[in-house]
Structure 1
Amino acid sequence: MGMPFHFVVGLPAVLMTPPLMMHGGDFWRDMPPGLATTLWAVGAAFLVALFVLHRMTRFPGTQASMYVVPLVSVVFATTWVLLLGAERFDEGVLWGGYAASLLWFFLGYAGVQRFRRPRFAVVPLGEARHLVETDGSGLYRLEVPRLGAQRIDGIVADLRSDALNQEWVRFLTKCTLNGIPVYQIRQIDESRTGRVRLEHLADTELTSLLPSPLYSTCKRGLDLCGALLLLPLLVPIMLATAWAIRHDSAGPALFVQWRMGYRGVPFRIYKFRSMYSEGECEGKGFTSGEDDPRITPVGKIIRKYRLDELPQLLNVLKGDMSFIGPRPESMDLSQWYEKDVPFFSYRHVVKPGISGWAQVEQGYAAEVDGMTVKLQYDFYYIKHFSLWLDVLILLRTLKTITTGFGAR
């Protein structure tokens, strides 16, 4: 199911099936009005969905089959809206192309995930000795610098290890010359865990991890458009949430707190109050768990489904936050983390977000050990800062909202 196969087999199949079923085999000779425009639109929608799925599957833990239905549905719905301005188009062929695309992508990616497991040969020297198998890939440990007859998708080695002698170096060079990819152990570690280990930053220039200025600018425009579109739709939910909070316990509906923001500049974050006002102030100390006595009955519900985060649309409009980015910490916790967690301040190189890579991968983290892992996720996000990662986080956030994973 590589890209060439999608182009050579998948695209013609998706384009030909709907008109053949609806108009018969002679539709090319007597093409109905608007059919050509519709076929161009179906082809474009298929390629857009293919491109996004291909980019998203580069990130750890991404099973393309899970995102086929929402992604293809959004792409074809957008295509349908755009075609409404055309003089004529064949709506039946368009939705037939949608069904064919769903079937092609779902069966194809699900089949790949089930029957083809990537297999890597490991040079058992240095850090690579400790590499363990995961559900997504298999490992074959080399005893000598020579490949056997079995299929290998790549070689994994610790290229900085002093134990890597000239014989192994010649073997890796030969593999590269023969088109077999050779991966540094840290590349594989990041691609399997979705984290950048802090000790790896010691030999990495921080300037190489600076996010793209172009995408940062584009992202601000996307944030503004998204907030302006969502705010009218979410106002009724926000009003109902505020009413429930006020009737559940004494105190204001909104909770306002200073947080550490972009480039270390403090800002005031807006949230719905989920704790008792007369108890310990929300944000000071740690949330001890789901049964924290400070949390109100309504607070448990709005935390689970992230309704307490809705007022942060105002922060997005003001430019303090983005929809996607590292979660901002309170000033007290930020100062504490800066003393105990190396490189903590570097997470402020991008704008904080309502949701982020750490939240969809790890959930809630408070203690220093948990915060260290969270910071590793944040560094992975900064290193791979892109539209495709943001789209993936957005889709996983929607799943998180419906399941309540990581809520406290």
Structure 2
Amino acid sequence: MVRLFKHYIPHTVLMLGMVDLALLLFSAEAGWVMRARQIGMAVTPLATRVPQLLSFAAALQVSLVAVGAYGVGSFLSLRFAAARLAVAVALGVLFLSVLYFMVPTIGYWRSNLLYSMGIACVLLVGVRALLGRTLGGETFKRRIVVLGAGSRAARIRELSAQPGVNFTATAFVAMGEAAPAVGDAVPRDTIANLAAFVTDLGASEVVLALEERRNALPLADLLRVKTTGVQVYELSAFLERETGRIDLGSVNPSWLIFSDGFAAGRMISSTVKRAFDIVASLLLLIVTLPVMIIAAVAVKLESRGPAFYRQRRVGLYNEGFDIVKLRSMRVDAEVPGKAQWAAENDPRITRVGRFIRKVRIDELPQTWTVLKGEMSFVGPRPERPQFVGELEQQLPFYAERHMVKPGITGWAQINYPYGASVEDARHKLEYDLYYAKNYSPFLDLLILIQTLRVVLWPSGAR
């Protein structure tokens, strides 16, 4: 994987993205040249239309990211990839229409745009038909050797069997575990030279997955492996990179303390983030005000009670604040003072409420909370005080998520469905900790762009 601005990106995704960018630039130029020759116009030098080419490619590339065109499904199913590409092209047209309206000097003629879009569709589908299975297959997967055969090593085996993973476990080495969980692990005492064993398998990484590290670290073996050029990773770091979350089952306080991340010097990034929150919240409040008014009227017409309601949440440094939401449940949905998890097909949700939850309209009033500075657009979702007390007792490191300002959307929201239980909260906490550890403006931008995918395919909304 490539670490870009502290965030891990698979090599295959980066390669496909670069190929797509080249194809989009080619499509933009080919569409312009084709239309120019069709009407008998002289083809001017390429340098005269660089802004048009870049705007076309950038808008389509952002659309591809937004709809999840670089997700696992795009490498495994051509039908899935083609469907996402179709939506991305439609979004790209909308983006370009707005952009060309605001900056007419970089605009294409509509006929040029039509030709370029058609060429881009053919090329993007074609490259996925030719390379999709190859990029998602064994050819580009990293080969690893796992030291350990216990339950921690078994977790790597389970992960390696999932579709779309970026590695293959070539061997497990039993290090004398009392209760091995990987039956086909090779006993360490049968391997004369571990470094030679690893290199003979063509492995590029060794993952340390011992059950008990105290006085059990094979330092001599690890040193020889490292000096051959093979990378050595501890299990928690390996799982963080491969899954995009901090695995609570393997992590410990010392790893969080001594690993990189949780940088304190974020003054410039925080200032930029706050400036973005102010400008974007003002614009969004203005643009979405008619939508909120229509939704509020629909809520009032369907059921008695107020259209908006306030709810107490826990924010930065464990301080409480109130968020404003459009009401999506009956007014008697909860006993006063007793919080209750939302459930799938929750009978308390009204018909209008179910729709506004699916498309996230009920969250729009929270933009006011962002403008006030109590929330950000991106960050861990703030939880209710009643749930926070319960979760802090049951989940390790839950209090650490309050060291980051909460947000309307976040890394957990685009990677995991709506949390409606302690187990769901555990999984979302793993993503929230990853965000807090690896925060950067790049990660914020990626989350904001991919939030559109969650809105378009709201499978996790409740």
Q: What are the equivalent positions in structure 2 for 1:272-351 lying under 5 Å apart? A: 272-281=326-335, 284-351=338-405
Q: Structure 1 residues 14 and 297, CA, compared in 2 at 3 Å: closer, same or farther?
A: closer
Q: Structure 1 residues 358 and 395, CA, compared in 2 at 3 Å: closer, same or farther?
A: same
Aligned residue-pair number: 398
Distance 1:175 1:336 in 2: 47
Distance 1:89 1:276 in 2: 50
- Residue from 153, 161, 164 that aligns with 1:136: 164
Partner of 2:208: 158
Distance 2:237 2:287 in 1: 42
Q: Structure 1 residues 357 and 95, CA, compared in 2 at 3 Å: closer, same or farther?
A: same
Distance 2:343 2:61 in 1: 41
Distance 1:379 1:61 in 2: 23
Write out per-residue CA displacement over residues 148-187 of structure 1, whole angstroms, 9 at most, x where no aligned residue. 78876x32411885353534531342134xxxx5544333
- Residue from 28, 34, 37 that aligns with 1:21: 34
Unaligned runs of 5+ in 1: none
- Residue from 280, 303, 308 that aligns with 1:254: 308
Distance 2:31 2:448 in 1: 32
Corresponding letter in the other structure for 1:115:
T
TM-score, length of structure 1 as denominator length: 0.79
Check whether the contact 1:256–1:270 (CA below 8 A) recurs between aligned residues.
Answer: yes
Partner of 2:239: 189
Partner of 1:115: 134
Partner of 1:378: 432
Distance 2:446 2:73 in 1: 8
Corresponding letter in the other structure for 2:164:
G
TM-score, length of structure 2 as denominator length: 0.71
Check whether the contact 2:146–2:153 (CA below 8 A) recurs between aligned residues.
Answer: yes
Q: What are the equivalent positions in structure 2 for 1:4-403 lying under 5 Å apart? A: 6=19, 13-14=26-27, 17-23=30-36, 31-32=43-44, 36-43=47-54, 46=57, 66=84, 69=89, 80-81=100-101, 84-85=104-105, 104=123, 107-108=126-127, 111-116=130-135, 117=137, 118-126=140-148, 127-128=152-153, 130-132=155-157, 133=160, 134-137=162-165, 138-142=167-171, 145=194, 146=197, 154-158=204-208, 162=216, 164=218, 166-176=220-230, 182-198=232-248, 199-203=250-254, 204-205=256-257, 208-210=261-263, 212-281=266-335, 284-403=338-457
Q: Structure 1 residues 357 and 8, CA, compared in 2 at 3 Å: closer, same or farther?
A: closer
Check whether the contact 1:61–1:192 (CA below 8 A) recurs between aligned residues.
Answer: no
SS in 2 for 1:209: coil
Check whether the contact 1:271–1:311 (CA below 8 A) recurs between aligned residues.
Answer: yes
Write out per-residue CA displacement over residues 175-200 of structure 1, whole angstroms, 9 at most, x where no aligned residue. 34xxxx55443333123322102352
SS in 2 for 1:175: coil
Corresponding letter in the other structure for 1:114:
R
Shift of 1:128: 4.1
Aligned sequence identity (%) = 30
Corresponding letter in the other structure for 1:119:
K
Comparing 294-303 and 279-288, the one that deviates more: 279-288
Distance 1:392 1:70 in 2: 20
Distance 1:245 1:171 in 2: 64
Check whether the contact 2:21–2:57 (CA below 8 A) recurs between aligned residues.
Answer: no
SS in 2 for 1:124: strand
Q: CA RMSD in A?
A: 4.1
Shift of 1:258: 1.7
Shift of 1:105: 5.2
Shift of 1:278: 3.5
